[in-house]
Amino acid sequence: MLVTLAIFALGLVLLTLGAKWLVEGSSGIALHFGIRPIIVGMTVVAFGTSMPEFVFNLAATLQGSNDLGLGNIVGSNIANIALVLGVSAIINPIKIDKSLIKVEYPIILATSVLFYLMSIDGQIGQLDGIILFAIFIGFLVYMIKTGSNGNMEGLVEIPETESTKSKSSAKNIGFAILGLLLLIGGARLMVDSAVEIARTFHVSELVIGLTIIAIGTSLPELAASVMSTLKKEADISLGNVLGSNIFNILLVIGLLSIFIPTQAEGDTTLFLHFPAMLLVTLLLLPLLWLKEYISRLDGVLFVILYVIYLFLCYKFG
């Protein structure tokens, strides 16, 4: 048990360093090339912090642990909004980019609903996977085309600010890549050790996937979002959470289901876990629509909702 705890601690150190460098590198790239920080959060950072989910689900799928894989994605999407955004807002209120309500938020809501509808028959099949992955490609193309500040022709360099004078573009890219690698490695160590601890208490695979593993694979999002919030890059924090949820459904579930169907069986899955994912996603709507900031009180309420969800998982899961 001591070795397992030591591995968990090492993973936490790697995760923290990775988050710091990923945020520094990606925000530097955004400033240097004039890319909207919210777009960097929804693409570069979201892709990086979604890699633990992809790697874990690939391993779970190949090993036939479908409950772990599905639970990981649904649980991660719940944790990303309720836990990650909640904690980030408690640390520092998150300014809302109102452009999100026009395109990005409708995309995450629509993909979440579509994910649920596809699961009602008990599995995400090959055709479902193709549809999800095709939507992902369309989303990625849209993000690339709208990525620059008012420039649809490509990435045009802007005059360097004080933040970018000390670092070249190559260094920023290097920091982002190194941070990404440390995030993935740290999350992996933490997940493996957490699963070993959880299984000693004879917890089911679905509940492990929805809670321990979901939190573990959401730790990169949490670390990156908290670091972004502390560095006053709230756009990256919010974009990271929304982008990660879109990537989790469209890329991770979509791509893997093309090759091996993802099982979604059980009343608890369809009537507790999926509705919980849709609920926290819908709760973002009034915040994005009516408010300028996600306040500390909003953050506290999200975290309380997440604690209630964890209780329901262990009671009925």
Residue-wise pLDDT tens digits, 22-38: 767 876 776 676 666 66
Q: Tell me: the pLDDT tens digits for 190-204? A: 777 767 766 777 777
**What number does CATH give the domain 37-151+202-316?**
1.20.1420.30
Look at 218 and 115; give whichever has higher pLDDT. Answer: 115
Kindly indicate the confidence band of residue 235, based on its pLDDT and cuts at 50, 70 and 90: low
Task: Answer yes or no: is pLDDT of 307 > 90.
Answer: yes
Return the SS3 of 219. helix
Whether residue 160 has pLDDT greater than 60: no
The domain spans of the chain are 37-151+202-316
64: confidence class by pLDDT, cuts 50, 70, 90: low
Confidence of residue 65 (pLDDT cuts 50, 70, 90): low
- Using CA atoms, how far apart are residues 12 and 10, in angstroms rounded to an integer? 5
Tokens standing for residue 160: 């360097």
In 103-137, which positions are buried (b, 16+ CB within 10 angstroms) versus exposed (e)? ebbebbbebbebbbebbeeebbeeebbebbbebbe
